Amino acid sequence: RLEITIKAFQAIHQNEGPSKSLENPRRTLKRKREDEGLEDAPEAFNPKYLTSKDLFELEISDLSFRRHILVQALIITDFLLSLSTETREKLAGLNTPLQNKAVVYNDQLSEENTKWATEMKFTISDYLKRGIDGPYFYRMVETVLARDKNWVFWKMASCPLIQRDPVSPDLFVEARTTAQKLATSKRLRPTPMGSVSLEFLR
């Protein structure tokens, strides 16, 4: 079960060793110099699950491996929540008709399962935010999932054209004139606003 997996991950997170900030300063400085040429290298890799039981304990101790599993679980919970009553009501309230029935599911999530999926999503999100780069990592995942939701809705609406009317010449000239006025340096006040005049010192 997913709850057991998360509890196991939380136990590993609590039993991890001291942070790198407690290492020998000279060793840390040397490592920093060695890694200066690797700044552009990727900070994480796509972990691969190995079926060997002897290696599983080492795999699960890797933060990237645990994140990889939880991101997949987060994708599943997001999909389950898309079948909830609240989400269906939001889609029904939109003006865009959902014509592509191939990507519209007839299944509906019960209130009990919706509550479970919501709590599970919150627990997974809270775990992914841990660590120094946790908030940044979670923001990337959240951005990708949000864009995927927009793509799914676009597919539901039978892929309508995304168009934007061109800017009229008059509007372009007006915007350029306004930008030039805002960028023009204005004459400085003889006495800055909020300050007292120093004429009495003369």
What pLDDT is stored for residue 15 in this prediction?
75
Residue 73, domain extent: 2-14+42-156
Q: How many domains does the chain have?
A: 1
What pLDDT is stored for residue 22 in this prediction?
38
**Which residue has tokens 């204005």?**
186
Query: Is 22 domain-assigned?
Result: no
Concatenated DSSP letters of 27-96? HHHHHHHHTGGGTTS-S---------HHHHHHHHT-HHHHHHHHHHHHHHHHHHHTTSHHHHHHHHTSSS
Whether the CB-CB separation of 121 and 114 falls below 8 Å is answered with: no
Query: Is 150 domain-assigned?
Result: yes
Q: What is the DSSP letter of 133?
A: S
pTM exceeds cut of 0.75: no
Query: Is 193 domain-assigned?
Result: no
Q: What does each of the 202 residues of the chain score in pLDDT, given as a tens digit?
A: 788 888 888 888 777 654 443 344 445 545 555 555 444 444 555 567 777 888 888 888 888 889 999 999 999 999 999 889 888 888 777 777 777 777 778 888 899 999 999 999 999 999 999 888 899 999 999 999 999 998 988 888 888 888 888 889 999 999 999 988 887 766 666 666 667 776 777 6
Query: Is 36 domain-assigned?
Result: no
The rounded radius of gyration (Å) of the Cα atoms in the chain is 27
Query: Is 26 domain-assigned?
Result: no
Three-state SS at 189: coil
Query: Is 82 domain-assigned?
Result: yes
What pLDDT is stored for residue 202 in this prediction?
67
Query: Is 29 domain-assigned?
Result: no
Candidates 43, 44, 42; CA nearest to 64 is 44
